[in-house]
């Protein structure tokens, strides 16, 4: 995998939206953060644009992202927010110039489409918080982005929760994944990734428990869970249930789906739709170490 060039003070970071509409005012915390780091924010034409729930129509969102991909002065693209819409514009993108001059693509949630699509091109991306919400996150969530952008040594350690469901062990492999619902929605497309020998990360928000089960069963039946090197589960936040309960939590559903395999499995990683949403380098060959009390993800 190719690692995009690291940034230095004075470099330009574009902020665009591939999905839901967003105002300039909502992005102020992200803009101020970039300026604090000595970087130059450049707002795209999608910022403030509106077509129903989208940040302008599909053509505008495609053109805005394309312009930033092809702009040699732009050293990173920070997606403004998630929502829905990236899948509607990704097939209109031309990555020819991007392949010659890779740059960091940053975001999460709906941006999982781009992480997966660009993984198949062979370039690393950053699964991380976005300008619209970065002001509500932990200090660690913001500093993790800075560490990766500026090429600092980076690893994540967190307590090993869900001890009855955790499976200890060590593994290494390329990190892939993102939002479970989005991964499920792009299966069979040009953006779907081969997970064999890789460490899969998943997270989700505001889903019905039976649908978590449906998605995990799909990943299992299509072989995406069988040959993993490891599984890292982030935030599974604000789940919903039916009047007749499903009978299992989201983490229990996930644990059951991978119970017949032997690779290490951990839960409650500090990434996803949670306050402590730390950055992950997608495509990076990472080292995963899961013990009874602690989990380490080493990106170095």
CATH code, domain with 254: 3.50.30.60
Instruction: Indicate left, alpha or beta for 282 from its phi (over 0: left) and psi (-120 to 50: alpha).
Output: beta
Domain boundary among 127, 149, 171: 149
Percent of the chain clearing pLDDT 70 (strictly above): 100
Residue 40 lies in a domain: yes
- State the catalytic residues: 109, 203, 273
Residue from 270, 291, 271, 286 nearest 166 by CA: 291
Q: How confident is the model at residue 138 (pLDDT cuts 50, 70, 90)?
A: very high
Residues 36 and 69 in one domain: yes
Q: Return the DSSP state at 196.
A: T
pLDDT in tens, 237-277: 999 999 999 999 999 999 999 999 999 999 999 999 999 99
What is the span of the domain harbouring residue 39? 12-149
DSSP 8-class letter at 35: H
Tell me: do 277 and 292 sit in the same domain. Answer: yes
Domain boundary among 115, 134, 149: 149
Determine the Cα–Cα distance for residues 219 and 49; give it in Å rounded to an integer: 36
For residue 5, is it within any domain? no
pLDDT of residue 163: 85
Work out the average pLDDT over 103-121. 98
Residue 42 — pLDDT band, cuts 50, 70, 90? very high
DSSP secondary structure letter of residue 135 = G
């Amino acid at each position: 995998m190719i690692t995009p060039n690291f940034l230095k003070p004075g470099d330009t970071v574009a902020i665009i939206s591939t999905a839901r509409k967003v105002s300039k005012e909502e992005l102020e915390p992200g803009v101020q953060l970039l300026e604090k780091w000595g970087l130059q924010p450049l707002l795209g034409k999608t910022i403030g644009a509106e077509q129903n729930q989208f940040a302008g129509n599909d053509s505008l969102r495609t053109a805005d992202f394309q312009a930033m991909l092809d702009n040699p002065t732009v050293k990173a693209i920070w997606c403004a927010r998630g929502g829905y819409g990236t899948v509607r514009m990704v097939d209109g993108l031309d990555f020819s110039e991007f392949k010659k001059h890779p740059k960091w693509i940053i975001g999460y949630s709906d941006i999982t489409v781009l992480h997966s699509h660009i993984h198949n091109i062979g370039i690393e991306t950053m699964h991380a918080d976005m300008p619209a919400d970065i002001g509500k996150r932990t200090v660690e969530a913001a500093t993790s982005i800075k560490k990766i952008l500026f090429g600092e040594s980076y690893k994540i350690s967190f307590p090993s929760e869900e001890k009855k469901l955790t499976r200890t062990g060590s593994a290494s492999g390329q990190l892939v994944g993102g939002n479970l619902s989005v991964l499920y929605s792009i299966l069979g497309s040009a953006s779907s990734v081969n997970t064999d020998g890789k460490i899969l990360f998943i997270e989700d928000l505001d889903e019905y428990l039976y649908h978590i089960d449906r998605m995990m069963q799909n990943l299992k039946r299509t072989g995406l869970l069988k040959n993993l090197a490891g599984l890292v589960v982030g935030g599974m936040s604000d789940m919903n249930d039916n009047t007749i309960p499903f009978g299992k939590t989201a983490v229990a559903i996930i644990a059951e789906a991978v119970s017949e395999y032997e690779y290490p499995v951990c839960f409650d990683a500090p990434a996803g739709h949670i306050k402590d949403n730390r950055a992950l380098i997608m495509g990076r060959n990472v080292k995963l170490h899961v013990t009874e009390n602690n989990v380490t993800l080493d990106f170095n």
